[in-house]
Amino acid sequence: MIVIASHNRSKSREIEQLLRGGLTDLPVEIRLLADYPDAPPPPEETADTYIGNALLKARACAAFTQAISLADDAGLEIDALNGQPGLHSRRFAGEHTPFPVKMGILLEMLKDVPLERRTARFRCAVAVALPNGAEHTFEDTLEGRIAEAPRGQAGFGYDPIFYVPELDCTLAELPSEFKNRISHRAKVMRRMIPVLRQLLGAPDRLSQSQTPR
């Protein structure tokens, strides 16, 4: 069994889809921590790196469930804002502030910045923790720019303002099955899948062509 250590159902479902795509030939149960009625609240994200925060969540979940536990931590880094909101992306402008409001604040901060200077990236770290204390981590990014206005209805978080020049659209304009091939979370999960397969006692079936370079 693998437990996704998140109380964010939108993110958990995205991770679950990515996991099932890489483990489709295995009879593995995938559960969400949010489905446990007595699940403890998520730990405070006190680390100074994405990997550190992901480990905090994965360790707490493994201790509670006694199962292979997977957690991620991600953030939006905007170069013109010196990397903000970065590690504090979820808590930017207040933890409970709706994302449309957060995006509006960021767009106002960037109102005088031309599109070519609105470079940004999503960074995602994934951690897997086992009850025996073993841990595995990976990190990856998706480069893009900040759009001048939100676009698209799909995705979640900052997806509507994250513009991917190569595709001429924001992440929120992409169907989920396509986003799950190119996103920062998809890239890092592709690197983690072979580790999970080994932990589950299965051979790595990913071909060289599927491995990020």
Q: What is the pLDDT of residues 121-144, one digit of tens each?
A: 999 999 999 999 999 999 999 999
Residue 129: inside a domain, yes or no?
yes
Looking at the 3D structure of the chain, how many domains does it have? Answer: 1
Distance CA 49, CA 38 (A): 28
Respond yes or no: is residue 79 known to be catalytic. no
Residue 186: inside a domain, yes or no?
yes
Answer for the pair 44, 19: CB distance below 8 angstroms, yes or no.
no
113 lies in which domain range? 2-207
CATH assignment at residue 90: 3.90.950.10
What is the SS3 assignment for 84? coil
Closest CA to 10 of 153, 120, 144: 153
- Predicted confidence at residue 205, as pLDDT, reads 54
Residue 85: inside a domain, yes or no?
yes
Catalytic-labelled residue, pool 25, 35, 73, 204 = 73
- Predicted confidence at residue 7, as pLDDT, reads 87
What is the SS3 assignment for 47? coil
Residue 213: inside a domain, yes or no?
no
Record the tokens describing residue 196, joined without a space.
């999970």
Positions in the chain whose pLDDT score sits under 50: 206-213
- Predicted confidence at residue 11, as pLDDT, reads 86
Q: Is the pTM of this model over 0.85?
A: yes
